[in-house]
Amino acid sequence: MAELAGADQKAALDAAQAAATKQGDTVRSLKALQKDNKADKAEVDAAIAKLKELKASAQAKQEAYADVAGKAAGQSKEAFRAAMAETLQRRMFYVPSFKIYGAVAGFYDYGPPGCAVKQNLTALWRKHFVLEENMLEVECPSVTPEVVLKASGHVERFTDFMVTDVVTHDCHRADHLLEAALEARLADTKAPPSVEDHEALRNELATVEELDAAALGAALRRHGVKAPDTGNDISEPFPFNLMFRTSIGPKGDQVGYLRPETAQGIFVNFKDLLYYNGGRLPFAAAQIGQSYRNEIAPRAGLLRVREFTQAEIEHFCNPADKSHPKFASIAAVEPLLFSRELQMGAEKLPKPMSLGEAVDKGIIANQTLAYFIGRTYLFMVAAGVTPSRLRFRQHLVHEMAHYAEDCWDAEVECSYGWIECAGLADRSAYDLRAHSAKSGQDLTAYEKFPEMRTVDVMVVTPNKQLVGKTFKRDARAVQDALEALGEEDAACLQDQLKSGPAKLTAAEGQVFEVTPAMVDVSRVQRKLAGRNFTPSVIEPSFGVGRIIYCLLEHCYYTREGDEKRAVFGLVPLIAPIKASVFPLVNNPQLADAARALSAALTVGGLANVVDTTAVSIGRRYARTDELGVPFGLTVDRQTLDDGTVTLRERDSTSQVRVGSAEAPALLQRLTNMSLTWMEVQATFPAQQTADAAE
């Protein structure tokens, strides 16, 4: 495999993107100041002009880099993936779980570097979302009683369609088998499909996910699909629930499941969280934790696993007001948006668009959803996702649940295609309503009107005597059901009663017939100081493992001229180890100095290793490049004379000479990315790069 992407292009791209990001911050600050009349228009315009220039430059460099990376990847995605996977497993980023027992599909262990990357990524997420937005973070158990997941709909609907081999009883995902059959037919070179068939097959392939059991079964029969490997007949497709089931307590009578998502833990705590927040809306709660899906056929490494880490946010707001106080801070952010319109259009390509424009044009449903799209974009880019390989794809109308107002997936391109790494959905009041109905608990918030409002309300007054006489011991249930009617249901009942008796459903599901004499329903005017309402939920939900996998693909490259020298160009914030310390020769004094430097780095909270193995410095560099270590500190004879060490940056391989004592503070700033390598190069004397010797 030839050089996958030039380190030079990568370094130039990083620098250009950093400069553009910085200028973007400047523009945003100036705009904020301008609002308060603390900056004038000329100043803002000049800053915007400069931003445009920097963006164009970054875009050009992006294309140059993507070209190199793409060409190599294009040559053979499989070879690229295999080479990277070999490095990942050998250096123990992650390995199949329970390997000594033959492994179990869909489970992975994070080894030391992978675990550190994951820690760093979730720490960044926590800072970017929880800390900066003052979110309420919670931690709830994975084991969940059935009632919660009945309310959420998971017990009934969290399923994939499965078929079994009628002879071996092996299980397969029905959609996967159909997709494979369609792809094979499309790729058939011996008897290629006609132009019309080709078009029809492509359309069928694009809509496999939307088929129900009967349609899926019909399609499988139509294409004569058999069980893979055996060629046996397959069963009709049937739904298989993806939740791991268990039993809580010693009696064995309480069904529990491992949670399929972390979100439900937040919803069931809504009332306490609202109280914690002083009863005020909007607020957001967040949770990072494990979720579980008993996949029928796990595949694609970290992308589809049975146990994974989610980071979810539930932002609760007034359905009548989905503006966001900090929207201005991201209005100028320009991610690639792949709206419904663009997906249905001729080009089928996403386009960059500012989030301000997207909201103004009604492309994104509201400010709050757009705000989180912007924050998600900034998070992903800060973590090291290549901006041109990140797009926000809007769900088509038929993809969305009936209650959803708008949904966008953050999709990242990797060798497996465009992968959903985060989902951002306006779920309206669905979740809270479902739990309120199931638990019988009031899950509303109260809104005080700025001034008293006169409103029409429906008042339902049962004729208690008649109800009692008619329904006897069910009278209480009927009366409760009448009094619990919402505005719409009451209006509906009023309507029905005009033409005679009407049906009424009580809490336990019994249906009663009520007559006009039994109840008075009338619309009256009331003066109200406020109202109770069920908040809307805007949910950004992240798959941590998927982001990690895509990150690793985006930053993996081999050194120009040496395809065996793999590098993970992880940004310093995410890199598992921040610095390697190399004593250059086998001299006890240098080893002591290296150990002291390492100890100083540790005190500064910087993960580091001392590499004292007796191999060339080039081989030692190569070894830490594979772990994505961004900085190397070399302790040599000169260190003993003047206390300086060599500081090497991984991607450029350029080196400067810095004082050993100032190295920890310098590395802290490089690691938290408040200092760039360019700035370091401008400050410290360059050291002759011994690249040939490497």
Interaction residues for a copy of itself, span 601-620 (CB under 8 A): 602, 605, 607, 609, 613
Question: Do 409 and 393 meet the contact criterion of CB atoms below 8 Å apart?
Answer: yes
Residue 588 binding a copy of itself, by CB under 8 A:
no
Which residue in this structure is represented by tokens 């709830």? 140
Q: How far apart are CA 23 and CA 337, in angstroms?
A: 22
Instruction: Return the residue of 4, 84, 138, 227 that touches a copy of itself, per CB under 8 A.
Output: 138
Residue 126 binding a copy of itself, by CB under 8 A:
yes
Of residues 252 through 271, those in contact with a copy of itself by CB under 8 A are 254, 256, 258, 265, 268-269, 271
Q: How far apart are CA 99 and CA 115, in angstroms?
A: 18
Q: How far apart are CA 313 and CA 423, in angstroms?
A: 11
> Among candidates 454, 521, 448, 508, which has minimal Cα distance to 482?
521
Of residues 157 through 176, those in contact with a copy of itself by CB under 8 A are 162, 169-171
Q: Of 112 and 352, which CB lies nearer to a copy of itself in the complex structure?
A: 112
> Among candidates 50, 62, 61, which has minimal Cα distance to 23?
50
Specify the 3-state DSSP secondary structure of 169: coil
Q: How far apart are CA 55 and CA 27, in angstroms?
A: 13
Instruction: Return the residue of 231, 278, 450, 509 that touches a copy of itself, per CB under 8 A.
Output: 278
Nearest distance in Å: CB 172, a copy of itself: 9
Of residues 375 through 434, those in contact with a copy of itself by CB under 8 A are none
- Which of the ranges 116-124, 337-345, 516-524, 657-665 carries the binding residues for a copy of itself, by CB under 8 A? 116-124
Q: Of 108 and 392, which CB lies nearer to a copy of itself in the complex structure?
A: 108
Question: Do 571 and 18 meet the contact criterion of CB atoms below 8 Å apart?
Answer: no
For residue 559, what is the enclosing H or E element?
Answer: strand 556-559
Residue 144 binding a copy of itself, by CB under 8 A:
yes
Residue 107 binding a copy of itself, by CB under 8 A:
yes
Residue 139 binding a copy of itself, by CB under 8 A:
yes
CA atoms within a 13 Å half-sphere pointing along the CA-CB vector of 450: 0
Residue 248 binding a copy of itself, by CB under 8 A:
yes
Residue 589 binding a copy of itself, by CB under 8 A:
no
Show the beta-strand stretches assigned E in 590-643: 608-610, 631-635
- Which of the ranges 22-30, 62-70, 71-79, 244-252 carries the binding residues for a copy of itself, by CB under 8 A? 244-252
Q: Of 284 and 383, which CB lies nearer to a copy of itself in the complex structure?
A: 284
Residue 222 binding a copy of itself, by CB under 8 A:
no
Nearest distance in Å: CB 344, a copy of itself: 36
Nearest distance in Å: CB 441, a copy of itself: 4
Residue 505 binding a copy of itself, by CB under 8 A:
no
Q: How far apart are CA 210 and CA 461, in angstroms?
A: 46
Nearest distance in Å: CB 1, a copy of itself: 24
Residue 140 binding a copy of itself, by CB under 8 A:
yes
DSSP 431-450: HHHHHHHHH-----EEEEEE
Nearest distance in Å: CB 133, a copy of itself: 10
Q: Of 338 and 430, which CB lies nearer to a copy of itself in the complex structure?
A: 430
Q: Of 1 and 39, which CB lies nearer to a copy of itself in the complex structure?
A: 39
Q: Of 253 and 451, which CB lies nearer to a copy of itself in the complex structure?
A: 253
Residue 684 binding a copy of itself, by CB under 8 A:
no
Question: Do 643 and 660 meet the contact criterion of CB atoms below 8 Å apart?
Answer: yes
Q: How far is CA 253 from CA 148, 260, 336, 439, in A?
A: 16, 21, 51, 20
Q: Of 70 and 112, which CB lies nearer to a copy of itself in the complex structure?
A: 112
Q: How far apart are CA 636 and CA 427, in angstroms?
A: 60
Of residues 438 through 477, those in contact with a copy of itself by CB under 8 A are 438-439, 441, 443
- Which of the ranges 127-135, 361-369, 479-487, 531-539 carries the binding residues for a copy of itself, by CB under 8 A? 127-135
- Which of the ranges 8-16, 243-251, 482-490, 505-513 carries the binding residues for a copy of itself, by CB under 8 A? 243-251
Q: Which residues contact 284 (CB under 8 A, 6 or more apart)?
A: 133, 135, 136, 313, 314, 315, 316
Q: How many residues bind a copy of itself (CB under 8 A)?
A: 79
Instruction: Return the residue of 28, 435, 546, 559 that touches a copy of itself, per CB under 8 A.
Output: 435
- Which of the ranges 22-30, 50-58, 436-444, 635-643 carries the binding residues for a copy of itself, by CB under 8 A? 436-444
Nearest distance in Å: CB 602, a copy of itself: 6
First to last CA, the chain: 20
Residue 244 binding a copy of itself, by CB under 8 A:
yes
DSSP 330-376: TTT---EEE-HHHHHSSS---EE--HHHHHHTTSSS-HHHHHHHHHH
Residue 661 binding a copy of itself, by CB under 8 A:
no
Of residues 40 through 99, those in contact with a copy of itself by CB under 8 A are 91-92, 95, 97-99
Residue 301 binding a copy of itself, by CB under 8 A:
no
- CB count within 10 Å of CB 134 equals 10
Residue 675 carries which DSSP code?
Answer: S
User: CA triplet 155, 161, 166: central angle to 5 degrees?
Assistant: 120
Nearest distance in Å: CB 365, a copy of itself: 28
Nearest distance in Å: CB 47, a copy of itself: 21
Nearest distance in Å: CB 277, a copy of itself: 9
Tokens of 559: 């050194």
Nearest distance in Å: CB 445, a copy of itself: 15
Which residue in this structure is represented by tokens 């086998």? 586
Residue 247 binding a copy of itself, by CB under 8 A:
yes
Instruction: Return the residue of 292, 371, 542, 582 that touches a copy of itself, per CB under 8 A.
Output: 292
Question: Do 258 and 243 meet the contact criterion of CB atoms below 8 Å apart?
Answer: yes
Q: Of 250 and 561, which CB lies nearer to a copy of itself in the complex structure?
A: 250
Residue 316 binding a copy of itself, by CB under 8 A:
no
Question: Do 422 and 378 meet the contact criterion of CB atoms below 8 Å apart?
Answer: no
Nearest distance in Å: CB 452, a copy of itself: 21
Give the CA diameter of the chain. Answer: 103
Residue 219 binding a copy of itself, by CB under 8 A:
no
DSSP 189-244: SSSPPPHHHHHHHHHHHHTGGG--HHHHHHHHHHTT---TTT---BPPPEEEE-SP
Q: How far apart are CA 107 and CA 592, in angstroms?
A: 42
Q: Of 252 and 561, which CB lies nearer to a copy of itself in the complex structure?
A: 252
Q: Of 212 and 442, which CB lies nearer to a copy of itself in the complex structure?
A: 442
